[in-house]
A and B are shown apart, each in its own frame.
Chain A
Amino acid sequence: KQEVTQIPAALSVPEGENLVLNCSFTDSAIYNLQWFRQDPGKGLTSLLLIQSSQREQTSGRLNASLDKSSGRSTLYIAASQPGDSATYLCAVRSDRGSTLGRLYFGRGTQLTVWP
């Protein structure tokens, strides 16, 4: 059974720092890995999608890497800003027959960036 773990559960940093959020998963039979952001009381906003064949994906100040064989992904946030404060979730899409296409989520990292 796929299990997704995110470390740390919470992170509080001053503005301007570079950050690394970690995501690990137990079953490497995945189509892709997706990073989301969730603001309080809101739905999830997609940040980055990495295909299983890719090693990394970049969007602005965000860079996500994927090591499928070891079951790890990292989200790197450069020059953090208070507006980056949110909960960050990673999800993997199963490529295993019995659960084909199902999305498995971690519990998230709650990020606070203070001015």
Chain B
Amino acid sequence: GAGVSQSPSNKVTEKGKDVELRCDPISGHTALYWYRQSLGQGLEFLIYFQGNSAPDKSGLPSDRFSAERTGGSVSTLTIQRTQQEDSAVYLCASSLSVGTSTEAFFGQGTRLTVV
């Protein structure tokens, strides 16, 4: 596609429900990154993928968070049993590959509100 696409753009969910956030990277990009940004805060690293594997999952805040990537393309970030502190904007980025000097491009984000 023309750019990184994230869906939904907005999600309101009740505390305790599970949510899935989707990221479609730029076609041909093998590296994919997830970050979250709480109100007024900086970007918090969650996880990144090279192809379908995740070299670094250290940023996932708890075992309620998981992410997968299939076919080296679309990625899904799943949050189970959502809590109010999970409310944030979740941003996805992609680049050509991990191990080279390439530019990263971001999607518009998914704004998650847990009520």
Contact = CB atoms under 8 A, between A and B. Distances in A.
A52 B97 CA distance: 16
A31 B101 contact: yes
B114 interface: no
Residue from A32, A45, A101, A108 whose CB has the most chain B CB atoms within 10 Å: A101
Interface residues of A, number: 26
Contacts of A103: 33, 45, 48, 93, 104
B106 interface: yes
Contacts of B42: 89, 105-108
A102 interface: yes
Interface in B81-115: 91, 93, 97-109, 111
Contacts of B107: 43
Contacts of B100: 31
Given A100-B99, A103-B93, A91 B104 contact: yes
B103 A34 contact: yes
A46 interface: yes
B35 to A, nearest CB: 8
Nearest to A54: B101
A93 interface: yes
Nearest to A99: B56
Contacts of A61: none
Given A102-B48, A102-B56, A103-B93, A43 B101 contact: no
Given A44-B91, A100-B99, A103-B48, 7 more contacts: A32-B101, A42-B109, A44-B93, A100-B98, A103-B45, A104-B45, A105-B42
Interface of B: 31, 33, 35, 41-43, 45, 48, 50, 55-56, 91, 93, 97-109, 111
